[in-house]
Amino acid sequence: MPPSSLRVVYAFAREMHPKTSDVFIEYGTAGFRTKANLLEHVVYRMGLLAVIRSRVKNGRTIGMMITASHNLEPDNGVKLVDPDGEMLEESWESIATTLANVSDNDLEKTVQEIIATEKADMALKASVFIGMDTRYTSPRLAAAAANGVIALKGTPKEFGIVTTPMLHFFVKCRNDNTYGTPTEEGYYEKIVGAFKNIRKRLPARGDYNPRLYVDGANGVGGKKLKAIKKNLTELELELFNLGGVGEKLNLGCGADHVKVTQSPPKGITHPPFQRVASVDGDGDRIVYYYLDEQQKMYLLDGDRIATLIASYIQELLQACNATDISLGIVQTAYANGASTKYIQETLKVPVEFVKTGVKHLHHAAKTYDIGVYFEANGHGTVLYSDKAKKTINRISQEGDPTERKAAQLFLDFIDLTNETVGDAISDLFIVEAILCARGWSAVQWMELYDDLPCRQLKVTVKDRSVIKTTDAERICSEPEELQLKINELVAKYTNGRSFARPSGTEDIVRVYAEAETRQQADLLAAEVAQAVFDLAGGAGTRPELPAAPEL
């Protein structure tokens, strides 16, 4: 682009999307995420960066998603999606952070440096797909994103309100036409179509009840399931929290609320033992639960979903006689210790631990022929290598009758999976297909193993960077005395385990603890939180300790 054109870009930025705050914002594990009123200049600049990234990738399409996922409504965010539908390449996160924080006066120089350093051919066509969630601030930010794309003579395509996984799917399909059609209808055709095919092969049986209650978090996932429901006879969806008048996104509902508070969402009533699925605000997380007759809650989280999927894939591999296909599960430090024990000792499947963040799980899962990854919060999917797909496809045509039947079913399961990123809708249909295949109720699913009681807390600190971690964030390396104190506290409790890790986006430290009983887990979490407050520069109110349990 000639210098005169670039000067127009920067003049437009100063006039229409000026940087009005000195608050530093960092591209974290899920992009930029903060109060919506701080983001307009950031989103505009990410439009510029998406165009540069597209040209670095020889004109392949890049995605931009406007969302703050499970955060409450006043927040918003933006993240970039790479050509294969995966998260932005990690080396570009620092580039994005730099671009977002420079002054308006330094914007021109910074953009030119990025173009030169990354050797972007600015004569190439550039394509950027833009999606947004249901927040009232999203349309304005999506418009800023489109302005940024247009400013560097890229071509934006706006999809309006879609789930985050849908946008990832569209980007993947645009750059790889063998994966699917890059439209909302194409998404339904592949994902929902695969579920319908599976159900033709596997009619409901046993204790499986095709009725499913869904908490939509007052977000986009519930809205899309409402659209799917119109042409779905294989599953009886009862939908709640769909964002009606006065209902707030993620407030008292959604996957994050259910997982963190370990309590049911508001706005929904159901019979005892009825399966309920809760998705989050942008539709990339899902957890299940049910209540017994005494209203005790049983949570089926991302660990449970991962073990259910992996165990069924094992069955399919055995039925196909596909003995040369490697299967692995990737977890984070938040995975319940009981799930890890079940995977290793009962399923006998390799488990790999990585740092928190989908990009880390996704990368590790790609090292297996079939990699299952889930965070305990319900964000996850399954990745299938070319070798796995070719092997299963070959068996579907050349195996004996039993092997062919299993392989054909397996191919439908692959189509049912959104391999680009964790997808609440795709994962919902995968879980329902497996429960149907086994004739299981939620209670039978829960009986696979017994979770250790756990608790998560947040501690506000003055500077989260003072805490450093190692061993997939399970060990605190700095300050050293904090890990020594955690070790001391954990040793007091049967099956105790705890860790503290800094947030990737704000000055808080997340504390996780598990132990033999609920009371012990609660106290261990509170004690570790207090240690973090004391040793890592806590800010605000000190954590309150619950009553001491009987040890």
- Domain layout of the chain by residue ranges: 3-161, 187-299, 302-418+440-446, 454-535
Strand partners, 241: none
**For tokens 């870009």, what's the residue?**
9
Q: Specify the pLDDT at position 81.
A: 98
Q: Specify the pLDDT at position 5.
A: 59
Domain 187-299, CATH among 3.30.460, 2.40.50, 3.40.120, 3.40.630? 3.40.120
Helix axes 184-201, 424-438, angle to 10 degrees: 10
Domain 302-418+440-446, CATH among 3.40.50.300, 3.30.360.10, 3.40.120.10, 3.20.20.70? 3.40.120.10
Element (H, E) at 526: helix 518-535
Q: Is 522 annotated as a binding residue?
A: no
Helix axes 40-56, 93-101, angle to 10 degrees: 140
Strand partners, 76: 34
CATH topology of domain 454-535: TATA-Binding Protein (3.30.310)
Looking at residue 494, the DSSP 8-state letter turns out to be T
Identify the band that residue 147 occupies on the pLDDT scale cut at 50, 70 and 90: very high
- pLDDT for 253-285, tens place per residue? 999 999 988 899 999 999 999 999 999 999 999
Q: Is 495 annotated as a binding residue?
A: no
Q: Specify the pLDDT at position 112.
A: 94
Cis peptide before 479 (omega within 30 of 0): yes
Minimum mean pLDDT among 130-144, 173-187, 387-401, 498-512: which range? 498-512
Q: Is 377 annotated as a binding residue?
A: yes
- Give CA separation, 389 vs 301, 308, 317, in Å: 28, 21, 12
**Residue 153 in tokens:** 């003579």
Q: Is 94 marked active-site? A: no
d(CA 421, CA 364): 13
Inform me whether the pLDDT recorded for 339 exceeds 70.
yes
According to the CATH classification, is domain 3-161 in 3.40.120.10?
yes
SS3 (DSSP) at 184: helix
pTM: 0.93
Which residues contact residue 269 at a Cβ distance below 8 angstroms, ignoring those fewer than 6 apart?
none
The reply to whether 454-535 shares the fold of 302-418+440-446 is: no
Which residues contact residue 392 at a Cβ distance below 8 angstroms, ignoring those fewer than 6 apart?
320, 322, 325, 407, 410, 411, 414
E runs forming strands in 20-152: 32-35, 62-66, 75-81, 127-132
Average pLDDT, the chain: 94
Q: Which of 54, 69, 311, 498 is catalytic?
A: 69
Please say whether the beta carbons of 478 and 468 come within 8 A.
yes
**Residue 226 in tokens:** 């409402």
Range 91-97, long-range pairs (CB < 8 A, 24+ positions): 92/49, 92/53, 93/27, 93/28, 94/27, 95/49, 96/27, 96/31, 96/32, 96/46, 96/49, 97/25, 97/26, 97/27
Q: Is 236 annotated as a binding residue?
A: no
Q: Specify the pLDDT at position 551.
A: 45
Q: Is 376 annotated as a binding residue?
A: yes
Which residues contact residue 136 at a Cβ distance below 8 angstroms, ignoring those fewer than 6 apart?
73
